[in-house]
A and B are shown apart, each in its own frame.
Chain A
Amino acid sequence: MEPFTTLSSRTVVLPGANIDTDQIIPARFLTTTTRAGLGEHLFADWRYHPDGSPRIDFVLNRTEAQGCRILVAGRNFGCGSSREHAPWALADYGFRAVISTELADIFRSNCLKNGLLPVRVEEPTSAWLIGHPGAQVTLDVAAGTLTLPTGAAVSFPLEAFARHCLLRGLDELDYLLERRNEIEAFERRA
């Protein structure tokens, strides 16, 4: 994985609460056996008409959304399925961070494994971001801060281990593989 240190981008806003993994990537696109190419189907039922033409009223189809790498979403984003296809689709589309007041557990864990930064903020920050779509914000992984265009910086929780992995581009599998002796010792005990 590439190291993740800082990210500056304009935001795209999806204000609704409880946006679930079936919206992020509908099940009919889970038919792939690889990780690539899912970005095309991200939010498919909101992004396209049944005939495949784009819905011009959906935010991702507007010109100002192009090139945005940070998604701001309502409460409890990513609830539902454990399908990692959801963060794969977000990352393949080009997002590198998702900001919400609450991110569903499995989704959050899946994000971290795919270089997608889950950012949990308090209600006032979320309300500000939702009220200012397209705001240019900066995320700093080492400092654990989100800086708004107003200059205000708020911190977001990121546990030490995840921070360490993001900053160095490490993955957890290497860490687990290095624990081999302990795992074997556990198996002998059990």
Chain B
Amino acid sequence: MARAPQTLFDKVWRRHEVSAESADCPAVLYIDLHLIHEVTSPQAFAVLRERGLTVRRPERTLATMDHSTPTLTAQVFGGTPIALEAARRQVRELEANCAESGVELLGLTHSQRGIVHVIGPELGLTQPGKTIVCGDSHTSTHGAVGALAFGIGTTEVGYVLATQCLLQRKPRTLAVNVSGELRAGVTAKDLILAIIGRLGVSGGTGHVIEYRGDTMRALDMEERMTVCNMSIEAGARAGMIGPDETTYRYLEGRPRAPQGEAWERALEAWRALPTDAGARFDREVDLDAAGVEPMITYGTNPGMVIPIGGAIPQRPGDAAFGQALAYMGLTPGEPIRDQPVNVVFLGSCTNARLSDLRAAARLLRGRRIAPGLRMLVVPGSQQVKRQAEAEGLDRVFLEAGAEWRESGCSMCLGMNGDVVGRGEYSVSTSNRNFEGRQGSGARTLLASPLTAAACAVRGRVTDPRELM
């Protein structure tokens, strides 16, 4: 009998079942790659110590530091101590935990350090068909190569350290089918914001999304990562894209990708991964890419999003909506265009890869940011930083009046010293506009690197196509 057609997700899931789920018990799922960072791992190591356990497969875990670490060169390299005491403690604790357990650490001054979701693919560790977890919800980023990658809590970080496994119920599948060509000035970030606007912030709950269709096939790997990164903002466990020639070209020759004969073998296995024709998804949603405009958020979750030329919706009688807009200091029914902006943040695991920096630099070249505006450019990894400098992008940013930093999560979340002030408006290329996310009282508008650059130049919310 012919095997029933399977989805990419089904194939990866089944290959990692140590034992399948039953009515009484979740599946035991084997984890190929575990990424850890300084904020969500200390308590997991503490539990291991309390229970007298050791790390079962240290070579399957890689540690880096990104969330609480400073981005000022002097504090990273210059012998100036890390300003925040708590960050200092977390850095030291991760160093000690890795030394004790034999887990490899790309530490503060390592040339390959960076945001955990940027360095995995960059090193070629993120590979099709792998199961990948990290104590961080944006682990979904790694699904761009056709891996099953999802965020876990700290207790589960401990489970993976101790057993290399997790107990999981099999999620449902959701196909997001996108066809058509993105228009000029419309990026992968706009596309995923449009998808979240369509699904809603809990529309993907309980599901793994597979992004499909000719639009997805046409995206390069970094764009696919931007899309998969924000799957969690629609509530989904993970986002995946079937591997193809674009994926293989991206991975070939990366330091931790298979080499030589092992590469050929891997390639053969990867080619069998994409969803079979006729495979069924639990749900499907279709979207026309040609209709997508540059998008921007106006509220306090990523689903509160509109085309940049649009007006802020009105929802009389919806108290929570009213509160969100009061927090944002924005008025229903008004256009978002020309809203004054105080800060522009170009960074995060969503949009701080080389192509993102290039896109913003193209628009900023020969221009200056608006007087009084602060623009922070934070590359996703130290490698991205060096590549950008080799291309002279740092000069473009500095000459425009922006700050150029060492890599890290920075202003994406207000815990490392890089914050947006109370009441200030920030146009940010990151993934979350929650109340207080970028600092207590900060007001975040999420957008693409192109839009962020345009807003920096004008000091107001600006459609990037006006400056292109």
Contacts and interface: CB of A to CB of B under 8 A. Distances in A.
Nearest to A175: B167
Interface stretch (A2-10, A106-114, A135-143): A106-114
A40 interface: no
Interface in A117-176: 159-161, 164, 172-173, 175-176
Given A173-B158, A179-B163, A183-B30, A32 B86 contact: yes
Contacts of B40: 82-84
Contact of B155 (A23, A33, A113, A177): A113
Q: Contact residue range for chain A?
A: 35 or more
Contacts of A105: 171, 205-206, 235, 237
Given A33-B90, A34-B43, A106 B19 contact: no
A84 B435 contact: no
A22 interface: yes
Contacts of B164: 183, 187
Question: Quick one: which of B53, B67, B163, B206 has the most chain A CB within 10 A?
Answer: B163
Q: Contact residue range for chain B?
A: 35 or more
A92 interface: no
Nearest to B94: A33
A42 to B, nearest CB: 14
Given A83-B40, A105-B206, A186 B434 contact: no
Contact of B422 (A50, A74, A83, A114): A50
A176 B159 contact: yes
Closest 9 CB pairs of A and B: A31-B86, A82-B151, A33-B42, A110-B153, A84-B153, A76-B202, A22-B434, A113-B155, A27-B415
Interface of B: 18-19, 23-26, 28, 30, 39-40, 42-43, 46-47, 51, 53, 67-68, 84, 86-87, 89-90, 93, 135-137, 139, 151-156, 158-159, 162-167, 169, 171, 201-202, 205-206, 232, 235, 237, 301, 303, 319-320, 323, 413-415, 422, 432, 434-437, 440-441
Interface of A: 15-18, 20, 22-23, 26-28, 30-35, 45, 50, 74-76, 79-84, 87, 102, 104-106, 109-110, 113-114, 159-161, 164, 172-173, 175-177, 179-180, 182-183, 186-187, 190
23 contacts: A18-B320, A20-B301, A22-B432, A22-B437, A23-B436, A28-B415, A30-B415, A31-B86, A76-B235, A79-B201, A82-B136, A83-B40, A83-B153, A84-B135, A106-B153, A109-B152, A113-B155, A114-B155, A159-B26, A160-B23, A164-B24, A176-B159, A186-B30
